[in-house]
Amino acid sequence: EAQVTQNPRYLITVTGKKLTVTCSQNMNHEYMSWYRQDPGLGLRQIYYSMNVEVTDKGDVPEGYKVSRKEKRNFPLILESPSPNQTSLYFCASSLSVGGNGYTFGSGTRLTVV
């Protein structure tokens, strides 16, 4: 089944404790992206990647890192999480930017206390 897999689905952590949210797709998509979604603010892009070793900042990259060492994987790293990073996170992929639409992962609900 074609899908984008995110892990974990839920995570509660403490301020300053490094964490990684994994994202993997099995559709051989070149483009992958991370979004956060907050009430009243909609989906906001954090980082995106056009291909392996090609990444760029989105609209809200501060406090986040990404890497794209393999085509299928695009992990999101929070080096020192803070409470304002409490949010619902989505990974998405497509053949190209926009393409014929993105396939989204199931989401990760992160709480930083």
* Among 21, 105, 110, 112, interactor with another protein by CB under 8 A: 105
- Site membership for another protein, residue 13 (CB under 8 A): no
User: Which residues, listed in sequence order, are joined to residue 56 by a DSSP beta bridge?
Assistant: 48
Residue from 11, 43, 52, 77 that binds another protein (CB under 8 A)? 43
- The secondary structure of 55-72 as a DSSP string is EEE-S--TT-EE--SSSS
- By CB under 8 A, residue 64 contacts another protein: no
Is the Cβ–Cβ distance between 57 and 40 less than 8 Å? no
104 binds another protein (CB under 8 A): yes
Contacts with another protein: how many residues (CB under 8 A)? 25
CB of 86 to another protein, least distance (A): 15
Distance of alpha carbon 112 from alpha carbon 84, whole angstroms: 8
Residues within the interface to another protein (CB under 8 A): 33, 40-43, 45, 48, 50, 54, 56-59, 88, 90, 97-98, 100-107
